[in-house]
Structure 1
Amino acid sequence: MVVSVEVSDLRGWSKQVSRAGADMYAGNDYAEKYLNDANFGKILELITGEYRELLPKVQTTLDTDGERLRKSGLALEYAADDYHQRDHNFASEIAKADGSLAVTDDGVASGFEDVTTGASHLMPPTSNGQQLPEVSLGMLFDTICDVIIKVGGPDIRQSLTSFIAGDVSKAATQVSAWQHLASCAETVRQNLERGQTAITKTWTGNAATAQSAYFQRWNGSIGGQKSALEQMGNYLKDAVEQAVSFAQVTIDIVKTVISLVSAAWSNAAIPLWGQWKAIKTVKEAITTLNSARKVLMVFMNLLKSIVDFIKASYLVFTSESLPPAPTAGG
């Protein structure tokens, strides 16, 4: 079988693969810097455990991406040397030199320029000003809470503080980080795809076919990572928005309860009827609070969906899910 190879193109492809590895290394550094804290407070507590477990998996996978792509680029460089020197004593597993060669070298590598680098997307993340609404309900709130407790209701102060405590600004910042990482991964995938298309024009033979299949695996793997990174960002963005909405709804409901109880209280001085009216209105307020559970359930269902997604993502971010690194062969 006659094999054709344009050595400068092969070297250009080698360098492009190595740059892809450098971009994924940069992605790992970025994840270690900006995706290293899963503590968003009580309001997002449901996702904390799984999210905390996901972060190091993402970091390790990005680092492994970088290492294996670096080795792949080196393997292609060895193959170019092997073809150029007509020396079959050593070539990488990814591109063992074929027996009958038609080697050319015009000194120009065409089609292996990156449209942009993956690392160029790794800008410092921002929170876009997301934060939970402040709770400031005044002295009347404390008085009303005491009344509600006396008629058998919950301590709203404790519940309110517990439910809406959290750091959504931190979570929103991580949303931005996930989005930037997804853009980095997609750019790397596109650059490799572009380079693979270019090298098929000037490299043929068994080795070329083998490396083409190998980098098709990288295309799928990095594409899967990009999708998972992007979806994690989208889910976390939804969680932040729902957390803010839930907190605001909770505060609004409490304010409504205060208004109801305060109005009833003004009639409490009226013998019998006024006292009965006050107690009745307080109980109605408790019913209103219970209806807020529906809002809470929507929020909780979203968080449960996020947990399920994170668990599924564990399979994407493993070294076993990646193409193996090429090894030296004889």
Structure 2
Amino acid sequence: MRPARIATADTSGRRGSIVITRAPMRMVSATTPCMCARSLARLLRRHNLMWLNSGTRYSRIRSSTNPVSTTRRSPVSPSPAKRSAGRPRTPVLSADQIVDAAFSLARTAGPDGFTMAALARSLSVHPPALYHYFGGKADVVRAMRGRVAELLDVSGFDTPETTLVDAVLRWAHSYRSAFATHPAAIALLATTAIDGQERSVANYESITKRFVAEGWPVGGAVDAIVALESFIIGSALDTLAPDDIMSPGTAAPLAPTFSRAEALRSVKAAAHGVHPTDRSFDLGLAALIGGLPAALAAAVEAERV
């Protein structure tokens, strides 16, 4: 009787057909080069072979009798590769990315809509991802304040060769420009303590030391700084206004003097190539600085009482 030949093969652990025979078998191992599935099936049929998936190594089993029965099992799909455990090699977030998103959120959502949940949504992450970098909303706002503080020029206060007037002018103009870049964040920053924000605290230390060195009482130096800041922050908000915000429009006949003054203000600003709000800022800052000596004398006198 013609012996039956049974071949087994393995392709990535998948199972194919199984042959059961009653006759004794002996196994001979052999290695067959890779071929396409159709050619392999044709070869197996020609030699009365059945095959099992088991890699690229093939084993032949020879029997003295034909198989009595055969059972065929359908291939099993390989399991999908599991995602490796641990943190991704490339960080999904960074502190700078969160601060950038915070400024954008402050602009679009305003102070009331500025929450950790909203910030997480803007970054397409879950809120716990933010707490890996910041303890909460207050910490995010402090980081925003630090970003603004980096833009302030306080170098003049640490340089004895620079007069106090020039130091204040440089600081005030850089302060206004920094806040004008992020006007929507003003309300957040103005209502959050600077506690823990090292750069902001360092800036205030430089300014306070210089005011004290110029003769300001220690107890009055911060009052002078806050007075200047109040004007600067208000002027930063003013930069958002349109050039004609003070125009009386159709109500001009009701206020002829004001209407003429406003018209001349706009003309002069245009002639100098600046915005009307810039002229107002320069005038107000000069008035504040000019009034510092009188304010200093009053502060010193108050300390004596």
TMscore range, shorter length: under 0.3
Normalized per residue, the structure richer in helix is 1
Normalized per residue, the structure richer in strand is 2
Mark the structure with the bigger radius of gyration: 2
Q: TM-score, normalised by structure 1?
A: 0.21
Higher relative contact order (CA 8 A, sep 6+): 1
